[in-house]
Chain A
Amino acid sequence: MSTTLGSRLHEIGSVREQLLRSETLLRETGHYCGIEELRLKAADPLRYERLHRNILSAVIEARETGRRISGSPAVREMGEFLVTLFTAEGDAIALSTGIMLHVHTTSQFIKWMLRNDYETDPGIASGDVFANNDPFIGDVQNADVLDVIPFFHDGTLIGWIGAVSHVPDVGGVEPGGEPSVSSDRFGEGLFLCAEKVGHDDRFAKTHIIRCERNLRDPALWILDEKAKLSACLEVREKVGEIIERYGVDYYLEATREFIEEQRRGQLAKVRTALVPGRYRATGHYAHLMAGQRHVMPQAAVDLLYALPVEVRVEADGKLVLDLEGMPEAGPHSSNCTPTGIGGGLFLALMQLTAHDGKVNHGAWAATDLELPRGSLVNPDDEKVGTATGWAVLLPTFGAVARCFARGFYARGFVEEVFLLAANAGFQEWGGRDQHGRRFGGPNFETGAVGSGARGFMDGIDTGYALFNPEGDMGSVETWEQQFPILYLGRRNLTDSGGAGTYRGGVAFAPVIKVHGSAEVVLGIKETSGRVFDQTGVFGGYPSPDAHRYVIVRGSNFAERAGSHAPLPHQLFGEDGTVEVLTRLDGDAEVGHGQLANALVAHDDVVAHSYGSSGGFGDPLDRDPEAVVRDVRDGAVSAARAYSMYGVVLAGRQPAALDADATARRRSELRARRLTESRPAREWVAEERERVVAGDFIPAVRELYRSVARVSERFSAEFRRFWSLPADWEMDG
């Protein structure tokens, strides 16, 4: 009987064969493990739900235990940690909060081991510990280290327990977890490729020695390892006790029913809350490395990536994510693997459709991925760099959120419309710290930036991250303790939310002084200059987040502080000038986009911006009083209130609304829209000449050539849109 196969799957042979059987059953029956009826749920729903709650409590509690063992602020404060219980075949049963993308990557890691017959060699035994941070096996970047232990019951492998943390340093060519200067995998530090790193519930001595000798800050990596193993062992103990209470047959069958229930729940949610059809949106990423010092030659180029997303909602509620049209993989660290993109889809589902009910692998089982071979999201060369793969992943899923927004809106569920976010920037420090120790790691304050707007209210100000929606930036003192830095300021960035009827949340900008070390390396990764990586919907604008950074080296900070002269505390002063430039003397460097491997020292000062995301709806439809409140709060400047929102203020201290003048100003702006615009078809006909002439900068021409090399469909659509002959190609 297929209804009881869930409990008997382990009887059919090796776990590898179980995995193949499970996949076949899903394909042939349309049900996870062929489970056509939720037998146990129907028989005794209270017992069934109680088991689920017991398991869920175990993984959530273990995550908290793990966080307290870790020594890394990223884990302790930001919650860059995740604990998941899996079936023997590697399907998630229950997960804690945290970096949820890795539910899927860990699942892929387990399946990779099974497919590669780890049961025979190196063998899988109770007490073993396996680790992976290879994105082509299961990950986004090697700074996210996945540890799993097999879970045996009476000698039979019945599951896996996994824990993931973002480690501070990976021992790459550039300090920190995201060495962005490498043109391929070989500068990206330590890779653990689905490796057995422990036995008898302990890490192997050789693994610890390897970490000690290959990492800048091995203590934090090793503490993270201990945190993850402790969390896994705690889950094993607690779920073992749970199994004693419920019986192993009940456990095995019910946990698979949980997954089938969630698969059905995902399909039902889509059918309830979306509209079938084809949705499209495009994210962006600009890899700006030309002319940067200390970057490997092949990577020292400026590349522009348009990241088109197509979400298809099918009749049965299945979601297909089709990334046809992505450019080809490149000689840099921002390639994204299929397991990473799959994890991104899981992450988006957790925040958009699958956040209620039983959150597990079932949501994933109701989706499909189509990733063009050779592209940035499915490289055919597994030696490409991936250390900053999030730089592509996040704008891609920002675009996915805009697709969902259209579906929710069309169905009337405006309360579900949420534009999530995209990239925000990722500050990493390394070198020698204030105590003379070698170090490297991220300042995870990027864990709380601005979100995109919602369909019924503004986005979240300085309190959201797509990658970990807990949204925590850590306290300034933590980062000052961790790194040789002192904050001169960390303020919300006026006008940083995308404008709209509902605006994106504001982001923030730090001003940081290097302190107590003469040998510091700074990088700012996963951020675009010259382009916005997101936009709004329905007339909402993008967040102005084309990244800029300013460094003043050899500054006269000490002299000004000693004489009580004004110091820089924010990126832009009240008059719009860059405060570190007007309030400090020294050698100034102003740049766009990423910063790689920059040498700085005591009293050098750096300021930069984090990003937000787009707005919802026409800004001229925004409640004028909301704009006035924004001006009072510093979220919107008086200048932008006037130019973008058409709001005229009656006074500045405090700001008040001049309703009549606002009505006139809005009429004027609407009238200008008509006089300053033209029919789109007319514009397309004229713009075609520019396309034919290839009158674009080299990075734009290379984008189109790159996409053409991996996507005939995109090229055909491009030619059709611009009425070009079938053999037309963009010149180099």
Chain B
Amino acid sequence: MSEDRDTVERLLEGRLPWPQLHALISGYKGRDRFAMFRRFQQERVSWSDPIILPLTPKLFIVDAGNRGVVKCECGHVFGDWRGNWKEDARIRIRRTAEELEDLFGPLACDPDWMEIREFICPGCASLLEVEAAVPGYPFTHDFLPDLATFYREWLEEEPPEWASEAEATR
């Protein structure tokens, strides 16, 4: 199964028929997939900051000149790439029995035991992440990539200068 650009684009848009999907799943993973993926995402967004790593279908770590930030596809900037972007999002908490039953029906969780946290982009109102969490549980920092290792050792490319600053700023 060749990983040509058209195939990868149709895969990302959910338009690839099952026989081709199956071949793609079973086949060897192409080394240039990341480059194609990054290009695909870059062409999809309206801003020009270079995408360094897609984090989710909506969020990207981008090179904003002298620093790396988490940015939504709509252009909203969440802050330093090493921090937890959730702290800069808007949040809607579902923790009454009525709210939870409205969302989930009769097999909803019990608000004394678990709350639903919806993390929303202030710019485009996209639902970026949903946490099902015990009340009082800290936000989960889902993913902190090691960009310097990824670029330098895995992709054999030079990472942005700021990517080597390991410690989170907050």
Contacts and interface: CB of A to CB of B under 8 A. Distances in A.
B11 interface: yes
A406 interface: yes
A475 interface: no
A535 B118 contact: no
A678 B21 contact: no
Contact of B11 (A456, A537, A696, A721): A456
Nearest to B112: A697
Interface in A185-239: none
Given A276-B145, A277-B145, A643-B102, A670 B16 contact: no
Interface string B149-162: 11001100000000
A546 B124 CA distance: 32
A286 B110 CA distance: 11
B34 A700 contact: no
A501 B128 CA distance: 12
Given A413-B33, A699-B113, A544 B107 contact: yes
Given A531-B132, A696-B136, A697-B113, A410 B53 contact: yes
A416 B25 contact: yes
A661 interface: no
Interface string A271-293: 11101111111101010000000
Contacts of A50: none
A281 B112 contact: no
A680 B87 contact: yes
B131 to A, nearest CB: 7
B54 A409 contact: yes
B114 A531 contact: yes
Contacts of B109: 530-532, 544, 546
B119 to A, nearest CB: 7
A609 B107 CA distance: 9
Contacts of B145: 275-277, 410
Interface string B14-29: 1010000100111001
A545 B110 CA distance: 11
Given A276-B145, A683-B91, A548 B126 contact: no
Q: Chain B interface secondary structure, helix, strand, loop or mixed?
A: mixed
A680 B143 contact: no
A414 B12 contact: yes
B63 to A, nearest CB: 16
A536 B130 contact: yes
Nearest to A305: B134
B150 A415 contact: no
B103 interface: yes
A378 B145 CA distance: 28
Contacts of A545: 107
Contacts of B64: none
A172 interface: no
Contacts of A409: 54, 56-57
A690 B147 CA distance: 37
Q: How large is the interface on B (under 10, 10 to 19, 20 to 34, 35 or more residues)?
A: 35 or more
Interface stretch (A75-83, A118-126, A159-167, A616-624): A616-624
Given A279-B142, A279-B143, A678 B91 contact: yes
B4 interface: no
Contacts of B38: 412
Nearest to B56: A538
Contacts of B120: 673-674, 677
B91 A680 contact: yes
A617 B110 CA distance: 24
Nearest to B140: A280
A717 B138 contact: yes
A721 B138 contact: yes
B75 interface: no
Contacts of A457: 14, 21
Contacts of B126: 539, 618, 621
Nearest to B130: A541
A389 to B, nearest CB: 21
A154 interface: no
A618 B127 contact: yes
A572 B12 CA distance: 37
Interface in A519-538: 529-532, 534-538
Interface in A588-633: 592, 609, 617-621, 623
B65 interface: no
Nearest to B153: A315
B77 to A, nearest CB: 14
A703 B114 CA distance: 12
A304 interface: yes
A306 interface: yes
Contacts of A621: 57, 126
Contact of A643 (B90, B103, B110, B138): B103
A456 to B, nearest CB: 6
Contacts of A704: 136
Contacts of B103: 541, 544, 643-644
A576 interface: yes
A673 B154 CA distance: 39
Contacts of B11: 414-415, 456
Contacts of B54: 409-410, 412
A406 B55 contact: yes
B21 A679 contact: no
B58 A700 contact: no
B108 to A, nearest CB: 6
29 contacts: A272-B29, A275-B150, A275-B154, A276-B154, A277-B143, A277-B146, A277-B150, A282-B133, A315-B153, A406-B56, A415-B21, A530-B112, A535-B132, A536-B130, A539-B128, A539-B129, A544-B104, A545-B107, A546-B104, A546-B108, A637-B105, A673-B120, A677-B118, A680-B139, A690-B136, A697-B112, A717-B138, A721-B138, A722-B138
Interface of B: 8, 11-12, 14, 16, 21, 24-26, 29, 31, 33-34, 36-38, 53-58, 86-93, 102-110, 112-114, 116, 118-120, 122, 124-147, 149-150, 153-154
Give the 9 A-B residue pairs with the shortest CB-CB distance, closest first.
A412-B37, A721-B138, A544-B104, A277-B145, A530-B110, A539-B127, A677-B90, A677-B92, A670-B125
Given A315-B153, A618-B128, 15 more contacts: A275-B154, A277-B143, A279-B142, A284-B114, A306-B133, A541-B104, A541-B130, A621-B126, A644-B103, A673-B92, A680-B87, A683-B93, A690-B136, A696-B136, A700-B135
